[in-house]
Amino acid sequence: MADRGAADLLRPDDLAPAWFTRLDHLHLPLYSLLPEPLASAARRAAELARAAGASVSVDLASAGPIVGAGRREVSGRIEAVKPDVLFTTVGEARALLAGGPAERLLDLAAVVVVKRGAHGATLLARPSSGTDGGGERHRFDVATRPLEAPDTTSAGDAFDAGFLVTWLLARRESAPLTIALHRSAVAGHRAAARHLSGPRLELSLE
């Protein structure tokens, strides 16, 4: 159950431009793009991040909000922040595309990462301005070693973190697109595996 609490009340005017001056990247879950005024604050944050030269990513986070808000509405909200990288699971992609081909997600972002759990990840990319590869689009899979994990909570977030840190470093080093994508996916898998293999602390509700 996702509960953002007071975060739903965040407004664009609450954001200070100085917070973004040394920013490398802004990551947003879909949850931040739907309710107001939080959605307006998220769009403003994306604008401030872009102005500071940072990149932006969005994670679809859950199929439920996509179904609830509607595919067209969700697509519009994503387009408004112009993400460089879009993260999704297979189920979330199906919900957004109504079962259509995953390549359609490249209309929303230059890089799409489809997380497939124990089956690894599918990487989709189209060259954006200033990248290598001409007009060629890329699609390939990166495997991972399956793990026994009764609770996968936050594994997707750990994957995003590992992917993004490596992606930023690879692009800073001007690594070729496919190499940067492969390195980043492997790092994402490793981050998720560490999370799943470590001790799981639970909050007591008593």
Three-state SS string over 76-116 comes to HHHHHHCCCEEEEEHHHHHHHHCCCCHHHHHHCCCEEEEEC
What is the CA 130 to chain-centroid distance, rounded?
A: 21
CB 84 within 8 A of CB 78: no
Q: What is the pLDDT of residue 129?
A: 53
Question: Residues 57-110: pLDDT tens digits?
Answer: 999 999 999 999 999 999 999 999 999 999 999 999 999 999 899 999 999 999
Which distant-in-sequence residues (6+ apart) come within 8 Å of 56 by Cβ? 25, 26, 27, 28, 46, 49, 50, 81, 82, 83, 84, 85
Q: Mean pLDDT throughout 166-184?
A: 95
Which of 13, 45, 47, 14 minimizes the C-alpha distance to 32? 45
Q: Is the pTM of this model over 0.85?
A: yes
pLDDT digits (tens, 9 = 90+) for 126-141: 976 544 445 689 999 9
Largest Cα–Cα separation, the chain: 58
Give the model's pLDDT for residue 4.
Answer: 74
> So what's the pLDDT on residue 205?
58
For the chain, the helix, strand and coil percentages under 3-state DSSP, each to the nearest 5: 50, 15, 35
Does 7 have pLDDT greater than 90? no
- Over residues 10-66, the pLDDT tens digits come to 999 999 999 999 999 999 999 999 999 999 999 999 999 999 999 999 999 999 999
What pLDDT is recorded for position 5? 81
* Closest-CA residue to 188 (of 123, 126, 101): 123
How high is the pLDDT of residue 130? 47
Confidence band for 197, pLDDT divided at 50, 70 and 90: confident
Cβ atoms of 48 and 84 closer than 8 Å: no
Partners of 56 in the β-ladder: 26
Q: What is the pLDDT of residue 9?
A: 92
Q: How far apart are CA 122 and CA 141, in angstroms?
A: 4
pLDDT at 132: 47
pLDDT in tens, 116-174: 988 999 999 997 654 444 568 999 999 988 877 777 778 889 999 999 999 999 999 99
Whole-number pLDDT of residue 149: 73
Sequential DSSP letters for 174-204: T--HHHHHHHHHHHHHHHHHHHHHS------
SS3 55: strand
